[in-house]
Structure 1
Amino acid sequence: MENNRNYFVAILLSVLVLVAWQFLYVTPKIERERVAAEALQAEQAAQAPATSAGNTTTPGLSAEAPGGDVAIPGSTTQAAGLSREEAVAQTGRIAIDTPSLSGSINLSGARIDDLLLKEYHQTIDPTSPNITLFSPAAMADGYFAEVGFIADAQSGPAPGPNTVWTAAEGQTLTESSPVTLTYDNGEGLVFTRVISVDEHYLFSFEDTIANSGEAAASVAGYGRVTRFFKPQTEGIYVLHEGLVGVIGEDGLQEIDYSDVEDTPIIAHGKATAGWMGITDKYWAAALVPPQGAGFETRFAHFTDGRARYQSDFKTDTMAIAPGGSVTSKTLVFAGAKEVPVIEGYQSQFDILNFDLMIDWGWFYFITKPMFWLIDYLYKLFGNFGVAILATTVVVKLIFFPLANKSYVSMANMKKVQPKLEELKAKHGDDKMALQQGMMELYKKEKINPVAGCWPVLLQIPVFFALYKVLYITIEMRHAPFFGWIRDLSAPDPSSIWNLFGLLPWEPALYLPAIMLLGVWPIIMGITMFIQMRMNPTPPDPTQAMIFTWMPVMFTFMLSTFPAGLVIYWAWNNTLSVLQQGVIMKRQGAKIELWDNLRAMFKPKNKTT
């Protein structure tokens, strides 16, 4: 009994530590990082001299190559601080217009640096601005993807960051109309680039290099995703945001911004398969080098000139004989991390573990099936909230036999509750004798006292998997339920402190997140309270106290969790109460829920 009491005390203390960690460390840390990022951007913009278009540059953005031999060209860009309109107007461009994307390709460097996601908005309001993924380097929040070449001195110049490619007038890149760019280096090498894009988020850079000179040429390819600012991240351990990639045998690489700040160059050996890029919670930009050929990869943080974060690669050198030509193909992903789209690219182009761009976590073998089940039910019912309710039913059916055994055991525990009370009265404070008597009683009645823990233990991995699905998958972003729940991935926006919107004040401005009790957290707390009151009352007073207050504690804790998760828990509790009630009735155990409720709130008689 003493061990059981210590076990429950440990649970309570662990939960309190987690809550304290979240609100005393994690939340202030996120706020400090946000303020620091804004201050850094403001400082960079203030330090950059005011310029007129096309006359001032910020040199010094070159970078050593992964192998340390030939450098990946840096960019000679205008000082940061221009507006989007000014930055876009500086250079010649080719418009991008697909069902999913809009923006333009910068002919200087053939760089994708102007990209908006048509199907996604900044808020749940469909009239709010579209999500901006890429922005020109001349802006404070510059972010782009670029593919270019490096040539030796004998081969002449190769198209790099500042090369102006030639394009036919009036071209627009659509999913059905690729665009063609050319560059002649004047020394025998002619580069022809065909850029195509599908209806989603994948660009294809197919380059042909023809050598019309009299000497052999040597050319290597490179690609980079560069970000000139550090975004505000969620700062939570279940989600990776930062530099990411899968590099051959080295496997998945998840590099936080702070990691690459501490170690400015994180290089990997040669690989023949993989990809690399930068990921946010819902969006990502990634490069897929020519697969099968050798390339080296690097994650870096540069502070020369303008600070920037960068994922890049450099291919092995390609020899081009006089009169010959070579062709290479690089894929660029830039868009939303939609699960079927990402996995479709992995299958279609045989990209090594491309699905790991979505942070499924260590328990992906549970998380991914959970997503596919919810997504299938969503397509069936047309509402992610209903799909979560249906998923709960499916999970309950899967664990039905085991849960039944647990509830039968708890029902039998209820039946022997009077005998347990007799043992307590008989042995008094002799805990050893009381425990021995209880063990003999359990053995005689064929009761497993720990069997009731199984439903809770089984719920933990399912709960975690659902949490991951709701938190990381873009399909859940801004997914509505019914009524006031317009985003299942966000906490319940209602609050008891303004009578759920009846009072004209906003509690979120004055109260910490854990105090903002919405309708669904309260429903969850009530259902959890009812379920726990149907269980046998622990004989130990400490355990009884923990079980009494646990629903209250969880009500406050889950008030900050995604609404979809709270709805799942409330519905799961409701189903458990119904299942347990039926089993208790069949076993002949008395359901003393209402008696227990009356006893809780009945004033105790005072003794003199």
Structure 2
Amino acid sequence: MESQRSLLVIGLALVSFLLWQQWNIDTAPKPVTPATQQDSNATGGSADLQLTTADAEQPATNTVEAARTIAISTDVLQLKIDTRGGDIVALQLPAFELHKGEGDAYPLMRKLPGFEYVAQSGLIGRDGPDDSRNSRPVYTATQSSYTLTDGAEELIVPLTFNRNGLTVEKRFIFKAGQYDVRVEYLLHNQSGEVKTVQPYQHLVQTIDSGKKSSMMMPIYRGAAFGTSSERYNKYAFDDMQEKNLLEATTGGWVAMLEHYFVSAWVPDQQTENQLYSLVRNGQGAIGAKGPAVNIEPGAQATLGSTFYAGPKDQDHLANIANGLDLTVDYGFLWFISQPLFWLLTTIQGFVVNWGLAIICITLIVKGAMYPLTKVQYESMAKMRNLKPKIDELQARYKDDRQKMGPAMMELYRKEKVNPMGGCLPMLIQMPIFLALYWVFVESVELRHAPFILWINDLSAQDPYYVLPVLFGLSMFLMQKLTPMQVTDPMQQKIMMWMPVAFSVFFLWFPSGLVLYWFVSNLISLAQMLYIYKGMEKKGLHTKKA
């Protein structure tokens, strides 16, 4: 087996993995749950929730103020809050452009004709103003807009409401430079009877967003949640339509994901909460409910939760809730990807360029795997040198397969050759290649990150296809350096056209990924030349005779 074949096997394994993943996405059955079934699913503790903002058209009781939106601006967030319910109905991230160079802030949450993505929270229960038996409360705000001024560290946006002697102040607390928002309810029971309320918070999104994953950029758009026993679980919209989530946990969190960004509700981490999902009117929601709270006459109480909306910053997310950082989904190789991501960011801190950081981490990884690469090439060279003897044994025992096996093993033992020596190093390296792939795909730090010259976005494809062509040329040189022992004309043609096929395939890959593969090929070429020179000194043939 030639080294080039091993590299091609690794590449083909990656391609096969992506194809398999995309096939699952495209062919997975789409369950259609009748509305009556959805209602029955929702009865598991969620029937008292008002899911959408469609009820905003209904008149509010016990208030003379009409619902309106309040604009809030901080250094990292621009959002709008509807005074009906105090829901976040629009949220933009000014530090992240939707399209590079156009200056348009990334719209994470929005409410448009045919599409809705909002964050709702409120109080349900016997006396909760957001209970489905009541219309959503319309809060009173003293201002129509709030801005975190330069130099200020905190911005508090208070909304007030009173119904039947229960005074509610829904307070949003923003911090400078932070994407997490503290949402608190300051409750005062001014009546003569005990008031019972239960806090909830959920994220609502139209299920058919029209944004699809692709094989070149496999992304997940849907829900996720974490419990005290399972730190991270995906809960796709299809899963919601089939069966609603109902999980009891201490602490926990719920989220909606879209590639580089996440919105999440994190309830009180010290209480027993109920995580849920439900689907109504083409919208899916995932949320959390806290325990019911009794407020004695004349007493006060404070309930709170944390809302996050922003980039998938692993370090910050890990500090908000246990497992929330896993929304940066590296898949089953996360335990390899996370250290590689740490190494990548550490390098970037020195070179101050993500493209250079990719080159450096490729050098480090390939250098660390050099001993395995050397074992692989030497093992394959030994197998090539044994080929005449293997051919002789195969000719001698061509009619007796039972004797051929022991004879081959005796030959390997006598010549001190491991027939698997060329494959095992490759199998060890493959998880590292895949883990690095997911680091480059999932890391928001690479989004719109420039490299040099014409490559101004490492998360997008090369606009002039220079890197895919260079990758193909490097692959062709590797083939020339290590010609394969393939005698079948058809196989020879397939292998000859393999660099072209891979170059075409990589045309749509993010340029950061292609840069990694191109640099990896260059390093492999240098390692092959060095290793082959050493093997020739030992009398081992490195090329086909």
State how 1:157-196 maps to structure 2 within 5 Å. Answer: 157=129, 162-169=136-143, 172-174=146-148, 176-185=154-163, 187-196=164-173
- The verdict on how the C-alpha distance between 1:235 and 1:442 changes in structure 2, with shifts beyond 3 A counting, is same
Question: Quick check: 1:279 aligned with 2:254?
Answer: no
Q: Distance in 2 between matches of 1:441 and 1:217?
A: 85
Partner of 1:132: 107
Q: Distance in 2 between matches of 1:323 and 1:227?
A: 39
Partner of 1:234: 213
- The verdict on how the C-alpha distance between 1:447 and 1:524 changes in structure 2, with shifts beyond 3 A counting, is farther
Deviation at 1:230, TM superposition (A): 2.2
The 8 Å contact of residues 65 and 72 in structure 1, kept in 2 or not, is answered as: no
Question: Which amino acid in 2 is paired with 1:538?
Answer: Q
Partner of 2:531: 583
Partner of 2:60: none
- The verdict on how the C-alpha distance between 1:10 and 1:532 changes in structure 2, with shifts beyond 3 A counting, is closer
Question: Which amino acid in 2 is paired with 1:372?
Answer: W
Partner of 1:364: 334
Q: What is the SS of the residue equivalent to 1:365?
A: helix
- The verdict on how the C-alpha distance between 1:171 and 1:13 changes in structure 2, with shifts beyond 3 A counting, is closer
Deviation at 1:103, TM superposition (A): 2.7
Partner of 2:372: 402
Partner of 2:33: none
Question: Quick check: 1:376 aligned with 2:343?
Answer: no
RMSD: 4.0
Aligned counterpart in structure 1 of residue 472 of structure 2, from 521, 525, 543: 525
Question: Which range moves more in the overlay, 425-434 or 198-207?
Answer: 425-434
Deviation at 1:242, TM superposition (A): 0.6
Deviation at 1:339, TM superposition (A): 2.5
Q: Distance in 2 between matches of 1:424 and 1:463?
A: 35
Partner of 1:558: 506
Partner of 1:197: 174
Question: Quick check: 1:337 aligned with 2:312?
Answer: yes
Q: Distance in 2 between matches of 1:301 and 1:540?
A: 59
- The verdict on how the C-alpha distance between 1:316 and 1:14 changes in structure 2, with shifts beyond 3 A counting, is closer
CA-to-aligned-CA distance 1:131-166 (integer Å, 9 cap, x gap): 112224x743222112211242xx484688731212
Partner of 2:63: none
Partner of 1:461: 431
Question: Which amino acid in 2 is paired with 1:463?
Answer: F
CA-to-aligned-CA distance 1:315-350 (integer Å, 9 cap, x gap): 22101111211111111111222233323x33xxxx
Question: Quick check: 1:314 aligned with 2:289?
Answer: yes
Aligned counterpart in structure 1 of residue 81 of structure 2, from 105, 110, 113: 105
* TM-score, normalised relative to structure 1: 0.73
Which 5+ residue runs of structure 1 have no aligned equivalent?
2-6, 34-60, 81-89, 495-517, 600-608
Question: Quick check: 1:116 aligned with 2:92?
Answer: yes
- The verdict on how the C-alpha distance between 1:374 and 1:194 changes in structure 2, with shifts beyond 3 A counting, is same
Deviation at 1:202, TM superposition (A): 0.9
- The verdict on how the C-alpha distance between 1:99 and 1:210 changes in structure 2, with shifts beyond 3 A counting, is same
Q: Distance in 2 between matches of 1:580 and 1:109?
A: 66
Q: What is the SS of the residue equivalent to 2:75?
A: coil
Q: What is the SS of the residue equivalent to 2:463?
A: coil
State how 1:20-169 maps to structure 2 within 5 Å. Answer: 67-68=44-45, 71-75=48-52, 77=54, 91-124=67-100, 126-136=101-111, 139-152=113-126, 155=127, 157=129, 162-169=136-143
Deviation at 1:220, TM superposition (A): 1.0
Q: What is the SS of the residue equivalent to 2:303?
A: strand
Count of residues paired in the alignment:
512
- The verdict on how the C-alpha distance between 1:436 and 1:555 changes in structure 2, with shifts beyond 3 A counting, is farther
The 8 Å contact of residues 223 and 236 in structure 2, kept in 1 or not, is answered as: yes
The 8 Å contact of residues 129 and 136 in structure 2, kept in 1 or not, is answered as: no
Q: Distance in 1 between matches of 2:12 and 2:365?
A: 30
Partner of 1:296: 274
Partner of 2:184: 206
Which 5+ residue runs of structure 2 have no aligned equivalent?
31-37, 58-65
Q: Distance in 2 between matches of 1:77 and 1:12?
A: 50
Q: Distance in 1 between matches of 2:460 and 2:396?
A: 49
- The verdict on how the C-alpha distance between 1:455 and 1:62 changes in structure 2, with shifts beyond 3 A counting, is closer
The 8 Å contact of residues 355 and 450 in structure 2, kept in 1 or not, is answered as: yes
CA-to-aligned-CA distance 1:369-405 (integer Å, 9 cap, x gap): 1111111111211111111111011112322333233
Q: Distance in 2 between matches of 1:161 and 1:388?
A: 54
CA-to-aligned-CA distance 1:452-487 (integer Å, 9 cap, x gap): 334433331122112111212211212222233222
The 8 Å contact of residues 537 and 544 in structure 1, kept in 2 or not, is answered as: no
CA-to-aligned-CA distance 1:269-294 (integer Å, 9 cap, x gap): x2221011221112222111122222
Question: Quick check: 1:245 aligned with 2:225?
Answer: yes
Question: Quick check: 1:260 aligned with 2:249?
Answer: no
Partner of 2:34: none
Percent of matched pairs sharing the same residue: 28
CA-to-aligned-CA distance 1:401-440 (integer Å, 9 cap, x gap): 33233333345556x3xx7458758976975799988766
- The verdict on how the C-alpha distance between 1:203 and 1:454 changes in structure 2, with shifts beyond 3 A counting, is same
Partner of 2:194: 216
The 8 Å contact of residues 149 and 222 in structure 1, kept in 2 or not, is answered as: yes
Question: Which range moves more in the overlay, 238-247 or 282-291?
Answer: 238-247
Partner of 2:522: 574
Question: Which amino acid in 2 is paired with 1:385?
Answer: G
